[in-house]
Amino acid sequence: MEFLLGLLDQTNKGIVSFHEDGRLSFASLSFTEITGYSAKEIESVDVWRKLLFPDPIYRDFLSSRWDEKERELKSQRSFKAPTIETRMLTKAGSFKYINLTRIHYRETINYLLEDVTEQKKIEEKLIESENKLRLFVENSPAALAMLDKELRYLIVSKRWYADYHLTADDVIGKKHYEIFPDIPERWKQIHARCLTGVVEKAEEDFFLRENGEVVWLKWEIQPWYLSNGAVGGLIFLTEVITKQKLANLELETSEANFRAILETTDTAYLLLDTELKVKSFNHLAGIYSVALFNHQAKIGDSLPDSVTPERRTVIKEKLSEVLKGKPVEYVSQVQGPDGKDIWIFNRFLPIKKSTDGAILGVMIATRDVTSQKSEEIQRDRLISDLIQHNKELEQFAYIVSHNLRAPVTNIISIIDALSDLTLSDSDKTQFQSYLLLSAKKLDEIIGDLNFILKSRKEHTEQRETIDLNEIVNQILSSLDTDIIKSKIRFEMDFSKAPVIQAIKGNLYLILNNLISNAIKFRDLTREPIVKLSSWIDKNYLILNISDNGLGVDVEKYGDEIFGLYKRFHPATEGKGLGLYLVKSMLEAMGGRINLRSKANQGTEITLRFPLNTETYSA
């Protein structure tokens, strides 16, 4: 027995033996190498089964498989021991695939283990590779077929079935010449050459079907190889281009009729076939292609591949609509050779067959509309300015009618009271003090209005590149006393957008107001924290300021948040001008402000600055 165990240890097979009562008899070294368990750890057949096959359902399944295998072998009068392939859990926690043989010998039950994990992995990879190949071929957008050396079909793409009006029952396992008996002799000779290892293809070719139909094809034939390097068969890649060919012939006929008109117009014209390749263009289109896209238009070029990458997706979408028979019009903005923006009006029209409306190609007409577009932009800006100024007039009318009325009414009433000659000296003194207070209040309101008007005029100043870290640190330095007193902590991250194009004075006032508010309206029950960050979102620079202060009930005061003289924390001094000024100055620069807040939780303010300064109203 020791001799046999020694021989087994020289192979990749292990053996474990149990007495009839289930006690371990012995386990070979190879068994330990395969499973990771030593003989001491395998006390009995039950322990062995639980360790290597922990799932009780799976253990029962294995036992039933062995019994079934034994019955099968007995029915065949075979003396072979039953062997099954199974998966086993090793001591290391990994699974191995093994061929497990059960042998009854005298008063013992013996199990022979053969590690086939690597072989199983190879088989799985092979199956996976075959499945991927089949999936690739069957779902290929092209008409593709894989044949053996006898030109019997092995795998066929769905497009192949569709193009040649076939089904799987018609094709798989059958010879190519059975399915296409009318293939010309010259193609059979090509197939023979390709079976020797040659690759052949044709951009345009045709053959005559038995029913007289002419079929135009674009094709390529390649050999595929076995693992020993021998040719295993051929791969056919074809595209039926009969419709395109007939359409191109008709398009070429009609092209001459367009030529005289196209060369005498102020519009650039481009003619495409159904494959979106350039068939013709007039002189002006050639000039446009060089001036706008730095690409000389050429016959046969694919238009989507000729334009810049950022315009390619849009062009493809538009042309896709046109090929469905739908005209498309739109205005695009491109950069000219001098760096200035140029506006182009584009009209894409389908060229249709007069008899049945079939699409023969696409006509593209483009025209420079920069001057008209500039006038339109200027008009829109003027309208926007008028709307903004109208809003400002309405706001000031409200201020004059409400905020100025009270002190003026008080002054008139006091002056009227002072005209009473019967007033005592003490009453006169009292009324004079009231008059002084009303006058000061009136002067304060007028001063506020003057400051608001001044801040609105300043947005016409020159914009400059401003370092956000630098300007925020300047503001923090000016508020140093309040920051030290409040023990407030600032966290800043401007790494994603470190600089901004803005009017420095306006930006300083905006940030100073918001940071001052965060300090002023901090929550005294917790450590105050203010976070500032910036990033780019499409055409805007986003500046975000958040705090964990007192906050405000937005649902309750939503419409009044940015109002003039609106205050929401009476216990803290202030005029209620800050947010109104911030919003006014930001909108004057084409920006937007958004405020999110919850009472006793904090406030988050998002400022959106347009990156293109031309969008500012100045």
Domain identity same for 315 and 390: no
Q: What is the pLDDT of residue 617?
A: 35
| pTM tops 0.85 | no
Residue 84 reports pLDDT greater than 50: yes
Q: C-alpha distances in angstroms, 148 versus 41, 173, 190, 222, 420? A: 55, 9, 15, 12, 122
- Residue 281 pLDDT: 80
For residue 346, list its beta bridge partners: 330, 366
- The answer to whether residues 344 and 390 belong to one domain is no
Q: Where is mean pLDDT largest: 223-227, 338-342, 449-453?
A: 223-227
Using left for φ > 0, alpha for ψ between -120 and 50, and beta otherwise, residue 487 falls in left
Name the DSSP class of 227: T
In contact, 38 and 32? CB cutoff 8 Å = yes
The tokens of 461 are what?
Answer: 């100043």
Q: Is residue 249 part of a domain?
A: no
**Chain centroid to CA 288:** 32
Q: Which helix (H) or strand (E) holds 181?
A: none
Whether residue 357 sits in one domain with residue 398? no
Last residue of a domain, one of 173, 205, 240: 240
Of the candidates 315, 346, 368, which is a domain's last residue?
A: 368
| CA–CA separation, 445 and 133 (whole Å) | 81
What CATH number does the domain containing 467 carry? 3.30.565.10
pLDDT tens string 3-24? 555 555 556 688 888 898 889 9
The pairing of strands 278-281 and 268-272 is antiparallel
Q: Are residues 476 and 575 both part of a single domain?
A: yes
* Domain annotation covers residue 581: yes
pLDDT number for residue 375: 82
> Are 275 and 227 part of one and the same domain?
no
**Range with the poorest average pLDDT among 413-427, 430-444, 529-543:** 430-444
3-state secondary structure of 103: strand
Q: How many angstroms separate the CA atoms of 204 and 191, rounded? A: 17
- Residue 264 within any structural domain of the chain: yes
- Is position 104 within any domain? yes
> Are 85 and 142 part of one and the same domain?
no
583 and 601 together in one domain? yes
Residue 252 lies in a domain: no
Instruction: Say how far residue 331 (Cα) sits from the centre of its chain.
Output: 25
Q: Is the pLDDT of residue 258 over 80?
A: no
- Taking only the tens place, the pLDDT of each residue in 86-144 is 888 899 999 989 888 888 888 888 888 898 888 888 887 777 767 666 666 666 777 88
Q: What DSSP designation does 559 have? A: G
Asked if 60 and 49 count as a contact pair (C-beta separation under 8 A), the reply is no
- Residue 565: pLDDT above 70? no
Residue 247 lies in a domain: no
Whether residue 136 sits in one domain with residue 26? no
Domain assignment present for residue 342? The answer is: yes
| Structural domain span for residue 413 | 375-455
CATH code (residue 438) = 1.10.287
pLDDT at 137: 67
- Is the same domain home to 96 and 144? no
| CA neighbor of 235 nearest in space, from 216, 215, 253, 221 | 221
pLDDT at residue 450 is higher than 70: no
Whether 507 and 593 map to the same domain: the answer is yes
Split into its structural domains, the chain has a count of 5
Confidence of residue 152 (pLDDT cuts 50, 70, 90): very high
CATH (domain of 335): 3.30.450.20
Phi, psi torsion values for 362, nearest 5 degrees: -135, 135
The pLDDT > 90 percentage for the chain reads 10
Residue 105: both structure tokens together: 């010998």
Residues 86 and 231 occupy one common structural domain: no
Q: How far is CA 614 from CA 373, 374, 381, 396, 538, in A?
A: 14, 12, 10, 28, 16
Domain contains 37: yes
What is the distance between the alpha carbons of residues 196 and 190, in angstroms, rounded to a whole number? 10
In a 10 Å sphere around its CB, with 0-12 CB exposed, 13-18 middle and 19+ buried, how is residue 27 labelled? buried
Q: How confident is the model at residue 458 (pLDDT cuts 50, 70, 90)?
A: very low
108 and 153 share a domain?
no
From 56, 80, 115, the end of a domain falls on 115
Any idea what the Cα angle at residue 80 is, between residues 75 and 83, rounded to 5°? 100
Burial of 40 (0-12, 13-18, 19+ CB in 10 A): exposed
